[in-house]
Amino acid sequence: MQWDPKRNKMRSGTQCRFCRSGVKYIDYKDIGTLGKLLTHRGKIYSRKRSGNCAGCQRKVKRAIKRARFMALLPYCA
């Protein structure tokens, strides 16, 4: 069971969007996916907010930091 912040209820099954879609590697060039995990100020959403599992949140973190270095995503806005 996992907390669902949007519905304010508990949910069963995996909620991690990357585990559900069977992604092994999160690409730093995939701005559409990474952009959803950022606030409008460019901060990375917490695991509680994004619903990612610990492993995927680490992959997301790495991908976003790479994308920032390549000037694909902002450090701050």
Q: Applying CB under 5 A, which residues contact Zn ion?
A: 16, 18-19, 53, 56
Shortest distance in whole angstroms from residue 76 CB to Zn ion = 27
Nearer to Zn ion, 8 or 21 (CB): 21
Nearer to Zn ion, 19 or 31 (CB): 19
Shortest distance in whole angstroms from residue 77 CB to Zn ion = 27
| Residues in a beta bridge with 44 | 38
